[in-house]
Amino acid sequence: MASMRRRLRGLTTRVSGALAAAVPEAPVEAAAPVSETGEVPPVTETAPEPVEALEAVREIAVDPACADAVDLARAVAVEAGGATVGDHLGVEAEDDLVVTHSFATTDPAYVGWRWSVTVTRAEGSADITVDDVVLLPGSGALVAPAWVPWSERVQPGDLSPGDLLPPAPDDLRIVPAYTDTEGELAVAAFWELGLGRPRVLSFDGRLDAAERWYDGDHGPHTPMARQAPGQCLDCAFRVPLAGGLAASFGVCANGLAPDDGKVVSLDHGCGAHSETPVELTHSSDSAGMVVEDEELELVATGPSPDDETPDGHAS
């Protein structure tokens, strides 16, 4: 009896599997949640695709009447460009009943440009009117670079006497003096806490200056610094800075050094370092008297008695 039950259970399993494979599985819809009061919320239907999406894929046909108005488009282009209007390059549909004619330009200053004349007509009318005429650049035309605001074009060294360069309202390099908590202010400089300068460098401003100075001509990576006998750190001509930049920079005060009056990094250096060793050599011209023997020979510089004449006068 037990073996018969096992056979029937196996047969039922095989039949159920065959039926499941033969019949496609229907999508199972999630049951709508039921509130505590027993009410079932209404089912939200899926909105159909917007009409705009269907119209976007629709190709715009070129209106034949507008496409045939080549002479009208050329006349308008000649009125604007004169003798620089060249061959007709083709037409392009901008919208229903709106067509743009393109003409080459023969002006040598506008190589690759084209005259563009847009014409149109009202629906049901045969009269062609002109919408616009303009000289446009083609794919290989020489065009001006993208406009860059003056604040982004200014480079170091561009400022000349009489020029004004105010900071931007949101300049990250400066902050109000009373907000500085990074150690820029010394205890003795209490006047900067809003009582002196209204704003001071922020941490980002100091970091920007430090990177620019360190990577510039007065940092450690220049040929002068690589061949220097010492660094500005232990040079007597280095004037220390104040504030947060003092740990990395100073000012050179050696009038004979190429960095005189410049902010230099502490690991910068030049040949005018205060501790540069110098070997002093003496010239033979200034050697003085040379003594060969320990005994000196006395040489008379005045007349000798043997040289006197009978009358007592020297010969």
The token pair at 160 is 């000349």
Would you give the distance in Å from CA 137 to the centre of its chain?
Answer: 28
Radius of gyration of the chain from its Cα atoms, rounded to whole angstroms: 48
What's the 3-state SS for 210-221? HHHHHCCCCCCC
pLDDT at position 174: 74
CA-nearest of 114, 77, 76, 119 to 95 is 119
Task: Report yes or no: 275 and 231 within 8 Å, Cβ to Cβ.
Answer: no
At position 296, the amino acid (one-letter code) is: L
What residue ranges define each of the domains in the chain, with the CATH number in brackets? 64-137 (3.10.450), 167-203 (no CATH), 215-265 (no CATH)
**Number of other residues whose CB lies within 10 A of the CB of residue 274:** 13
Q: Which residues contact 312 (CB under 8 A, 6 or more apart)?
A: none
pLDDT at position 4: 41
pLDDT at position 7: 45
pLDDT at position 215: 93
pLDDT at position 18: 45
pLDDT at position 117: 95
The whole-angstrom separation of Cα 85 and Cα 20 is 75
CA-nearest of 264, 185, 180 to 225 is 264
Report phi then psi at 249, rounded to 5: -140, 160
pLDDT at position 48: 53
pLDDT at position 236: 87
Residues of the chain with pLDDT under 50: 1-16, 18-20, 22-24, 26-31, 34, 54, 184-185, 187-188, 280, 286-287
pTM: 0.42
